[in-house]
Amino acid sequence: MKLTGNTILITGGSSGIGLAFAKKLSELGNEVIITGRSQDRLDAAVKETPKLIGIRSDAGSAKATAELARDVKAKYPAINVLFNNAGIMVYKNLAAFEDLDKLTSEIDINLSGPIRLVSALIDSLKANKGTIINVSSGLAFVPLQAAPVYCATKAAIHSYTISLRQQLAEHGVEVVELMPPAVKTELAPLPDDGSVKVISTEQLVDATLKALEKGKAEIRPGQANQLRFMSRVAPNFIAGQLAKGSKSLIPPG
């Protein structure tokens, strides 16, 4: 993927990983559109980086996704990069009852959201010979017991992205999967006992852009690559280690 001269849509771009990528990609000479559910956060992001374009949208809503796609295609027909980054992570106690609407919110945003938006923008992405970047996680390979639904959505995105890449190859659309390790953001608190190595958003952006320049289809910075390796050579061991490390994060029943 070329790193300049693109028209890029980044979902969940008003904070965290998404905003870090938005700032850097804008700095490199791209037109960058960011989305988010909070208008205040979008306004703050655009105020800090005036070249960014903010559009309020909810990745978990099919209606909002359709409206977003219509708006983007009408105003920014040159769109050639879709960066599916929006996501939430919720620690859950599966032994306790939870409101059924809230129970699947991670599926709506993390999994259904990217699938819907790809479909809504696919004609433009094919016409512009574009690139789709789906953000999954190193936890796509080994689940964290405290975040069971989140990890399931990331494993599903990993599988979906492989099929998407295969189907879109003949249409000239590049499909990339970014699998971050633990990154210091507001996504969810992590154990503070030193068992989890956390990288900064700047480190993630730097590693990702280098990999994109090299044309890598799967980008697994830091411990994400280690999780993939361990899931193959010692799956029970690594699953047990993550289970122990995250047990204290499970909410009380």
pLDDT digits (tens, 9 = 90+) for 132-178: 999 999 999 999 999 999 999 999 999 999 999 999 999 999 999 99
- pLDDT class for 188, splitting at 50, 70, 90? low
**Average pLDDT value for the chain:** 94
Evaluate if pTM is beyond 0.85.
yes
Span 37-55, average pLDDT: 97
Q: Is 150 a catalytic residue?
A: yes
Confidence grade of residue 196 (pLDDT, cut at 50, 70, 90): low
Task: Answer yes or no: is pLDDT of 189 > 60.
Answer: no
- Rounded Cα–Cα distance for residues 26 and 6 (Å): 9
Give domain 7-249's CATH number out of 3.30.420.10, 3.40.50.720, 3.60.21.10, 3.30.1540.20: 3.40.50.720
Q: How confident is the model at residue 195 (pLDDT cuts 50, 70, 90)?
A: low
For residue 192, is pLDDT > 80? no
The one catalytic residue among 76, 91, 150, 160: 150
User: Which residues, other chains included, contact 196 with Cβ-Cβ below 8 Å and sequence gap of 6+?
Assistant: 182, 190, 245
Q: Assess whether pLDDT exceeds 60 at residue 45.
A: yes
Q: Band the pLDDT of 34: cuts 50, 70, 90.
A: very high
Do the beta carbons of residue 239 and residue 142 sit within 8 Å? Answer: yes
Is residue 123 packed enough to be buried (19+ CB in 10 Å), middle (13-18) or exposed (0-12)?
A: exposed
Q: Is the pLDDT of residue 187 over 70?
A: no
Q: How confident is the model at residue 190 (pLDDT cuts 50, 70, 90)?
A: low
Compute the distance between CA of residue 72 and CA of residue 125 in angstroms, rounded to an integer.
12
The conformation of residue 109, written as its DSSP 8-state character, comes to I
pLDDT at 197: 78
Q: Using only C-alpha atoms, what is the Rg of the chain?
A: 18
Q: Rounded to the nearest 5°, which phi and psi values hold at 92?
A: -130, 145
Alpha helices, DSSP H, located in the chain:
16-27, 39-48, 62-75, 100-103, 105-106, 113-127, 148-168, 201-213, 223-233, 235-246
